[in-house]
Structure 1
Amino acid sequence: MAMDGSPATPLELPLHEPRPTGAPTALDGVLVADFSRVLAGPVCTQLLADLGARVIKIEHPDGDDMRHASQASIGGLTSAFLALNRGKQSLVLDLATAAGHEVAIDLVRRADVLVENFTPGVMKRLKLDYDAIAKINPRLVYCSVSAYGQTGAAARRSGYDPVIQAESGLMSLNGFADRPPVRIGPPVVDVSTGMMACNAVLAGLLARQHTGCGQHVEVALFDTAANLGALYGMSYLVDGNVPGRFGQAPPGAAPVGLFQASDGPFYLCIVNDRLFRRLATDVLGRPELAGDPRFATNRARTANRTALFAALETAFAARPRDEWMSRLQAANVPAGPMRTLAEAFASPEMAARGLARSLPHDTAGSVPNIGPPFRFSHTPTAAPAPAPALGQHTKIVLSEVLGYDTARCTALAGGGAFGKMQDETDGGDRHE
């Protein structure tokens, strides 16, 4: 349903543009054994897949929890799983069985990268920890993602994005001063941790080029949250004053905040005197505001924020938002309309960047895709493929990557390596 209660209308998306024929990717030939699930780890491995790595997602026979999220679904896949697992191949393994462990070891022996985000201790219990794996593959870049790190009293605690937001102090900065703290809606700590993990893996691969050795790299949600709040954390460490919540208007500059035109809100961001002069003279036609001693400097504007905002609110309320956007953009003053997600995906900015596209899909016909946030001139990102069905590539990985013949696959299946095998009529490679 739409926000006004009317039936929702899915956005019609253009097909994804084909990548240049024969162009290499940044991570051609890199094999990733992806033991991660849910959110932070899959963000990391999806980015590696976008960069051209072959990412094999090892899933329990029940599948990644995101396959069962209570969100929109299409073609048998939830939107949550689609958002985090583009470009991967799904291999079902029951790691608790000797046969499943045998396959995992065989895959890791060939891999360049391993990513896992189990609670510390789980991979050791499965005999897949770094110390064990480094003996059979010393060139492996082994990345562990956790809530609180691999060591210390909190290491074995389970942790989720909003809990980390609360514990790290990040949540204390979000919201309005006269109201309780508010969690940041999107899982910014999880997503940022996934990005940090991708950076760590890429650094590990680069280091391997000149050392010849792999290494264990780790990234923690708590550490990432501390870095997300570093601008305010550093202020506290410098002067001992605890920053508080400031809603739409941060204390260091003015006018910054959400303003209301006659027909809708927009966000304005004036961070220096030059921009304020442009706003007053070129946008509002009120040069006297720039000459007013109360507003002439950023320090004065922040001290007289109430009077300044009152004057601006009166001015902005007199005209429609599109007119203000035209004036603000013509004067190169940073501002943008406050949009819903539907409005954002229908915006000219989204279209110009080609972010929202449609991908062919076996069971759904097509599924939407949000493209990665980077561009390369010589090694364009890999051609996107939708997130896989559970176990969709089990047979392919066993034959192409591991070189197993039918007899060995049958023996492994008999040993429970793949959980309960189930023939599928819509692809034949899915094992659930």
Structure 2
Amino acid sequence: FAGGESAYYISLNKDKRSLTLNLKKKKGKAILRQLIAQSDVLVENYRLGTLDKLGFGYESVKEINPRLIYCSITGYGNTGPMSHVAGVDIVVAAEAGLIGITGEKDRPPSKVGVAITDILTALFAQGAIANALYHREKTGRGQKIDLSLFESQVATLFNLSSTYLISGEIPQRMGLAHATIVPYQGFKTKDEEYILVAVTSEKMWEEFCHLMGIPEFIHDPRFDINKKRVMNRDELIPMLEEKIAARDSDEWLSAFKKVNIPCGRVNTMDRVFNHPQIKPRNMVVEVKHPTADKIKLVGIPVKYSETPGSIRLPPPLLGQHTEEILSDLLGYSKEEIGALRQEGIV
């Protein structure tokens, strides 16, 4: 926590303003209609039908502002037999196949370390909204975007979903290994660290074998091309594990990098934020917070040549900008806002 706000909340809400509004009261609904009338985009992630009951379904909102982009994010989409079921990241990740392919072979499935299904859906929403805004620029018309956690996750199974759809083969959990490239996985080193090594070509395989001290494997008929290494994975990998376990991680990483074999350490969070790329790429920024003085936030990963991004606002306190939004955007006086507070509207 920082200044009474959770780290989780802080991570999700930078560069936002917060307005509290009671949508069960007529005046609250009237304020939202005023905001919608001058907005470009509305994003909602209520269970299907909730906003319709409040009078803010797409058909109603379109009457207020035909140019509005209305992005509806649900667990399973606006149609289909599960459209009214609420969706949360870990459950949808399981149903959409991600958890089933995550974890060690012959071990129970495992969740990913972050709420990746939520994050992927947000990224799809960003692209969808940008596309809809471009369409509006050309046609003058807004539209509704129907986006679900489930479909977002299914869409990002990539080569594994394609493997099943083409061959009927069910992908298995591979731990730190790759299903179709060998060696392309994690190895434990002498100093109890884990490193990832990706040998992605036959030229790299030659370099790798020389570094390992096994030049005879270069032309060994069991391992001379990737297809055979995949077929004989169970024979090859234990020998490589033994070799790599004999030296420290720094030694291996230095050796692999010298011959341009992709490699890296499995970092803990402290090492992530001491990585040599973090500071020059401005991936940690400090901002002033209303109750916690200064806080550190993750920076902006996309670098624009003409419109460089910046974090302008810290994550807001609940309702922090209510008066500012009502007065600056909608022209409410201090007296009117005070009355709305007294009535429990804001």
SS in 1 for 2:278: helix
Instruction: Return the offset for 1:231.
Output: 1.6
CA–CA separation in structure 2 for the residues paired with 1:354 and 1:296: 43
2:207 alignment partner, one of 263, 278, 287:
278
Distance 1:177 1:308 in 2: 16
Q: Residue type of the partner of 2:225?
A: T
TM-fit CA distance, 1:286 = 4.0
Kindly indicate whether residue 264 of structure 2 is the aligned counterpart of residue 336 of structure 1.
yes
SS at match of 2:145: strand
The partner residue of 2:184 within 242, 256, 260 is: 256
Distance 1:352 1:313, change over 3 A: farther
Q: Give the total of aligned pairs.
A: 345
Task: Give 4+ residue runs of structure 1 displaced > 6 Å after superposition.
Answer: none
Aligned-partner Cα distance in 1 for 2:304–2:67 = 27
Cα RMSD of the aligned pairs, angstroms, is 1.5
SS in 1 for 2:254: helix
Distance 2:252 2:12 in 1: 37
Spell out, residue by residue over 1:60-92, the C-alpha distance to the aligned partner (whole angstroms, 9 max, x if none).
Answer: xxxxxxxxxxxxx10121111110010001111
Aligned to 2:115: 187
Partner of 1:161: 89
In structure 1, the gaps of 5 or more residues are: 1-72, 419-432
Give deviations 1:15-62, integer Å, cap 9, x for gaps. xxxxxxxxxxxxxxxxxxxxxxxxxxxxxxxxxxxxxxxxxxxxxxxx
2:197 paired residue number:
268
Q: Are residues 1:93 and 2:21 paired?
A: yes
Superposed displacement of residue 299, structure 1: 1.1
Give the residue type in structure 2 aligned to 1:268. Answer: V
Work out whether residues 99 and 415 of structure 1, in 8 Å CA contact, stay in contact via their aligned partners in 2.
no
Q: Match of 2:228?
A: 300
TM-score (norm 2): 0.95
Equivalent in 294, 297, 311 of residue 369 of structure 1: 297
SS of residue paired to 1:192: helix
Match of 2:58 in 1: 130
Secondary structure of 2:144's counterpart equals strand
Percent identity between matched residues is 34
The alpha-carbon deviation at position 336 of structure 1 amounts to 0.4
**C-alpha separation in 1, matches of 2:257 and 2:280:** 17
CA distance in 1, matches of 2:336, 2:280: 50
Matches within 5 A, 1:20-169: 73-169=1-97
Q: Please, which of 376, 381, 397 is the counterpart of residue 325 of structure 2?
A: 397
1:157 and 1:204 mapped to 2: Cα distance? 26
Where does the alignment leave 5 or more consecutive residues of structure 2 unmatched? none
For 2:239, the equivalent position in structure 1 comes to 311
Pairwise CA distance, 1:276 = 1.3
**Separation (CA, whole Å) in 2 of partners of 1:157 and 1:124:** 16
What letter matches 1:386 in structure 2? Answer: P
Q: Which residue of 2 aligns with 1:9?
A: none
Aligned-partner SS, 2:19 = strand
Distance in structure 2 (CA, Å) of the matches to 1:196 and 1:269: 29
1:178-224 Cα deviation digits (max 9, x unpaired): 12222222111001001111111111111111011111112100001
Moved more, 400-409 or 346-355: 346-355
Q: Which residue of 1 aligns with 2:149?
A: 221
CA contact (8 A) 1:197 1:218 kept: no
- Counterpart contact for 1:170–1:229, Cα < 8 Å: yes
Of stretches 242-251 and 116-125 in structure 1, the one that deviates more from structure 2 is 242-251
| CA positional deviation for 1:177 | 2.7
In structure 2, the partner of 1:378 is 306
What residue in structure 2 maps to residue 351 of structure 1?
279
Structure 1 residue 117 displacement after superposition: 0.3
8 Å contact 1:253–1:272 — kept in the other structure?
Answer: no
Is residue 2:174 matched to residue 1:246? Answer: yes
CA-to-aligned-CA distance 1:277-332 (integer Å, 9 cap, x gap): 22223x33543322222221001111222332233223222222112111111211
CA distance in structure 1 between the partners assigned to 2:45 and 2:31 by the alignment: 20
Deviations 1:322-351 (A, max 9, x none): 121111112111110111112211222323
Moved more, 379-388 or 207-216: 379-388
Does residue 1:409 correspond to 2:337, yes or no?
yes
Using the TM superposition, name which of 170-179 and 116-125 deviates more. Answer: 170-179
**Aligned-pair CA distance for 1:272:** 2.5
Map of 1:321 onto structure 2: 249
Aligned equivalents of 1:415, 1:97: Cα separation in 2: 10
Contact 2:289–2:315, Cα closer than 8 Å, also in 1 = no
TM-score norm. by structure 1 comes to 0.77
Residues 100 and 416 of structure 1 are in contact (CA less than 8 Å); yes or no, is this contact kept in structure 2? no
Aligned partners of 2:190 and 2:249 also within 8 Å: yes
